[in-house]
Copies of this chain bind each other. A is one copy, B any other.
Amino acid sequence: MSMSNASIPVFEIGLNALSAVLDKAETYAAARSIDPATLLSARLFPDMFALTQQVQSACDQAKNGGARLAGIDPPRYEDNEKTIAELKARIAKTVTFVKTLDAKKIDESADREIAFPLGPNMGHMRGADYLNHFAVPNFYFHVTTAYDILRHCGVEIGKRDFLGTIPMRVT
């Protein structure tokens, strides 16, 4: 298995699934006359990120993780999304970016040191460790918590919505 296999399609499938989950949230809000902003500001505890920040952070883990492994500077986003449509646009922009990454460069990054900002400090990890123990878990943390917030708000989604369109045959 290559580093690029374990990153590019992982982020792409997870982000597309998150976008489809947001569609279901929008449909749910419309059907119940709930202001979608109420869902976007929902959170599981007062000092946790609200849904908007969970979606932004999922995108950031994908774009930052992917860019660092490919050896390029991650693009900066403004974090100014105010609607579900804007969050879906951020997700789409991130999927497009991730798909432009140089798979060969990512494949060569397994033993390269990745340095990244960590609050006021810098974290340093081997490329493969950074992917397996930082970028991927953080990515799923935010995708799952976005899902959990919407589930907590009553949106009818299930595990398949979380997994998204995966290369699986069912018999």
A residues with a Cβ closer than 8 A to B are: 1-3, 5-6, 9-10, 13-14, 44-45, 48, 110, 118, 121-126, 128-129, 131-134, 136-138, 140-141, 144-145, 147-148, 151-152, 154, 159, 162-163, 166-171
Contact indicator B132/A9 (Cβ below 8 Å): yes
Contact indicator B168/A134 (Cβ below 8 Å): yes
Contact indicator A169/B132 (Cβ below 8 Å): no
A48: chain B residues within 8 A (beta carbon): 151
Smallest CB gap from A48: residue in B = B151
Would you give 19 A-B contacts (Cβ < 8 Å), ordered by A?
Answer: A1-B110, A1-B128, A1-B132, A9-B133, A44-B152, A48-B151, A118-B170, A121-B171, A122-B171, A123-B168, A125-B169, A129-B167, A133-B166, A134-B166, A134-B168, A136-B140, A138-B159, A140-B144, A148-B148
A148: chain B residues within 8 A (beta carbon): 44, 144-145, 148
A126: chain B residues within 8 A (beta carbon): 167
Contact indicator B141/A162 (Cβ below 8 Å): yes
Smallest CB gap from A133: residue in B = B166
Contact indicator B123/A169 (Cβ below 8 Å): yes
Which 5 A-B residue pairings sit nearest by Cβ, starting from the closest? A140-B140, A144-B144, A133-B166, A124-B169, A44-B152
Smallest CB gap from A46: residue in B = B154
Complex CA distance for A5 and B111, rounded to whole angstroms: 13
Complex CA distance for A145 and B136, rounded to whole angstroms: 16
Smallest CB gap from A2: residue in B = B1
Question: Which residue among A2, A6, A10 has the maximum number of chain B CB atoms within 10 Å of its CB?
Answer: A6
